[in-house]
Structure 1
């Protein structure tokens, strides 16, 4: 055995063969491009035939894999290299968007081709948006005519809702903005978009993606002003867009001003400083007094954490508004400003349900503080009120308005609930007779039966009505026994019932006597009798 040669170990392995279904196909758009180009050359300028060809080819060709190549061919006639130039080693077609006529009707027909293709193959929607973003970044590589056609197509697609307005982020590219390409492209795009829809639709789409405040970024930093933007687009025939941008800038300035006012109020700055700062900002931003009083009201009501209980929030609101009545008065020098404040109060009380019943008290407070005038309140009541909570607020203000119409000049003595107190928090005050009449002796210390405390006398005489009479006064006459035979109970049950009844009666009797002693003490305290 020793003579036999030992076999040396060898490295052996098993080669696994990849399944055919797991093999990844190599990305090769050449054959795909040749098929599309050949089909487009056969259909020519007939866009209806182009749409039918693309619809049928989707079953044979891999649109999902070669979506970018497909859209490059339809827009530019071939595959685009980085920068926007056509690849030289690829076949091209002369029937594409960039070689079509530069008019709105032709661009609308091309938009219909893209729309039909995306509706037929829904998975192309995302790839189409990415293609538009890429084309916008390549604007410098296109001619002016090609840019105009692409801008018109993009405006039509935005108007029809085929793509999102978020694709316009590509226009804020620094190189495009510096060369002025973005602004020129935006003029053609927005003019087509507004032609398809209107400025309100455009504004809504921009607001939805958060681009309503970014239109100034179409210009370089040294030209990024409202005046330059307005002049540029007004000269291009887009005055509606320039007005929209000016309005958006004004809204942004108002938000910043409101935020600053809330910070000043939170710090507890003096109202004179707040008034001076607000008037300076109002002049700088060219804001009207009506707009300013709305901002101030929102700031005043936003700087407090309000109580959640309706009965407490009214007192809190009255106390808080008293503190800032000077600030509100400084910006209600005009009748329109007072009316704007009234409408703002109505809207706020309607939107915040805890303030619904506080509306009248707030108005009365501001009337006493000379913030609101009689004319503004009557104007609001008769014709200028909002529809929000109309009947509820008008009913609250009815008595106060009647008093305003009938009252003479002088300090108000309102027959309406006071703004400083609420009915459920005040106790009824004693009458003049009760305040002036005082007991003169031991024998002259009886209280009239009409008193709020009942028919009790002083502690000296100790004369009280019998307990049975008090029981009757408290619980009413005894209930009659039900008709019919009585139920017979076992002796044990009778004893248990009688014991329970005795305990219940004893407990009620103790409670009644305790109430009598308490009421007697209140009578003595009310009449100033000190027990010896």
Structure 2
């Protein structure tokens, strides 16, 4: 007769002894041994059946391999192989054993071993685009980590391979696979010191005019990422703005050179305004203001800004506290007093006629743009003549043919008595010398 099994004692947990539990597929993959070299061997074996220049075949093969190879787990090795043809050892050196390097990679693209082929590079970049369109999870890691990793190790590769990587990066930017500021990854201390970062940057920028890609979004990306100081990519001995601009122009990137110089000019303007305005608020004496400005002037003129523009910049900073909202007589009195107090700051920066003319034109435009100042134009000029900031020759030149169009007729009429007096005084001195 059948008898029911004896129930387990109270509180005893059920047992699955003898039951086989199948491990989930994802869990099995996660616990599998990490073997990037095995992945490399498998990938290279599959790609070996594709001719190196048959980019359609390579794309199709990479697409199909996603179901066989674990791209998610080996994404770093995947991109190292596709970018430079090998898995990288710690420190960035390619692992080159008996397997050799992959026949297809950005670093080896092109039939000519010593030349970059733009048409081939565009097709090679297209392989990356199609791969990441198919496996979308790859793009984030590529842009945020693995391309930056390769660029940081750029010095480990041959110069022609570095150039190909720079050109390919431009194409990656064009295809919206990466932001333009990814180029900042090449700016390691070692790469800068050893002259790796500079040619990379130049090759990157020279590519855009060749592929007819607009530069404005690229430059905006650099600016937002704090990379507007392109000189930081250059070795210390080649960082003068003139050298940087000349190098960019020599590589067909004149628009980038102009943008760079404008950004440097803006930096000088901001620095002068910030420092001088603080000193004016504190009522610092002219010697202190001059001591602050002279190092900026030595650094910026003429490599970044002309001496005339620098004088104009200093003048505007010195009169920045004048209350232009007051009544006209009060505005004029305050402006004249301010110019008189700080004329010794302007004098060292107006040693040449061109600087004096630039200063007069600055005052002319300032008075035109602020009509309350116009009645004081003559007084401002007299103040600067009395302080030996302005001299007769440059003033006469300005009066006769060097003035700006803004408010010319009105302000020349106001200056006429001073010009006539200075000319007569000069004639009298000349007559005395003849006697």
TM-score class normalised by the smaller sequence: 0.5 to 0.7
Change (3 A) 1:23 1:317: farther
String of CA shifts for 1:382-424, please: whole Å, max 9, x gaps: x845xxxxxxxx8xx99x679869999999xxxxxxxxxxxxx
Measured in 1, the distance between the counterparts of 2:196 and 2:413 equals 67
Relative to its length, the structure with more helix (as a share) is: 2
Cα offsets for 1:287-323 (capped at 9, x unmatched): 5343124322442355x4x98xx96597885564233
Residue 404 to residue 369, structure 1, CA distance change in 2 (3 Å): closer
Structure 1 residue aligned with 2:232, among 191, 196, 216? 216
Q: What is the alpha-carbon distance in structure 1 between the residues aligned to residue 413 and residue 97 of structure 2? A: 89
2:50 matched to which residue of 1? 43
Instruction: Determine whether 1:25 maps to 2:18.
Output: no
C-alpha deviations, 1:251-288, integer Å up to 9, x for none? Answer: 54444344332233233133476468757854664253
Q: Secondary structure at the match of 2:107?
A: coil
Corresponding position: 1:294 with 2:332: no
- Tell me the TM-score normalised to structure 1 length: 0.54
Q: Which residue is equivalent to 1:110? A: 124
Q: 1:61 to 1:265 in 2, by over 3 A?
A: same
Alpha-carbon distance between aligned partners in 2 of 1:260 and 1:224, rounded to the nearest angstrom: 28
Deviation at 1:46, TM superposition (A): 1.0
Give the Å deviation of 1:150: 1.7
Question: Kindly tell me: are residues 19 and 378 of structure 1, through their superposed partners in 2, closer, same or farther at Cα, counting changes over 3 Å?
Answer: farther
Verify the 8 A CA contact 2:301 2:307 in the aligned structure 1: no
Q: Corresponding residue for 2:360?
A: 338
Task: Measure, in 1, the Cα distance between the counterparts of 2:157 and 2:288.
Answer: 57
Shift of 1:125: 2.7
1:320 and 1:118, CA in 2 relative to 1: closer, same or farther beyond 3 A? farther
Aligned-pair RMSD on alpha carbons?
A: 5.1
Larger Rg: 1
CA distances 1:400-453 after superposition (whole Å, capped 9, x unpaired): 679869999999xxxxxxxxxxxxxxxxxxxxxxxxxxxxxxxxxxxxxxxxxx
Alignment of 1:85 with 2:94, yes or no, is yes
Counterpart-to-counterpart distance in 2, 1:204 and 1:225: 22
Within 2, Cα distance between the matches of 1:402 and 1:234? 43
Aligned to 2:373: 362
**Distance of 2:233 and 2:102 partners within structure 1:** 37
Change (3 A) 1:77 1:269: closer
Query: How does the TM-score come out when normalised to structure 2?
Result: 0.64
1:135 Cα offset (Å): 0.8
In 2, distance between residues paired with 1:345 and 1:137? 53
Which residue of 1 is the match for residue 75 of structure 2? Answer: 67
Deviation at 1:47, TM superposition (A): 0.8
Aligned to 1:142: 157
The 1:15/1:93 distance shift into structure 2, 3 A limit, reads farther
**Structure 1 residue 38: Cα displacement:** 4.8
Question: Residue 231 of structure 2 contacts residue 241 of structure 2 at CA under 8 Å; is this kept in 1?
Answer: no
After superposition, where does 1:188-337 map in structure 2 within 5 Å? 188-196=203-211, 201=216, 203-219=219-235, 221=236, 223=237, 225-226=239-240, 229-230=243-244, 233=247, 237=251, 240=254, 249=264, 251-271=266-286, 274=289, 278=293, 282=297, 285-287=300-302, 288-300=306-318, 302=320, 304=321, 318=332, 320-326=334-340, 327=342, 334-337=356-359
1:169–1:243: structure 2 CA closer, same or farther, 3 Å change rule? same
Task: Report the CA distance between 1:211 and its aligned residue.
Answer: 1.2
Structure 1 unaligned segments of length 5 or more: list them: 1-10, 350-358, 386-393, 412-532
- Match for residue 166 of structure 2 among 151, 159, 162: 151
Structure 1 SS opposite 2:104: coil
What is the distance in 2 between the residues matched to 1:280 and 1:401? 34
Distance in 2 (CA, whole Å) between partners of 1:15 and 1:142 is: 60
8 Å contact kept, 2:148–2:182: yes
Tell me by how many angstroms 1:200 deviates: 5.7
SS of residue matched to 2:95? coil
How far does residue 235 in structure 1 lie from its aligned partner after superposition?
11
1:429-468 to 2 correspondences below 5 Å: none
Count of equivalent residues: 374
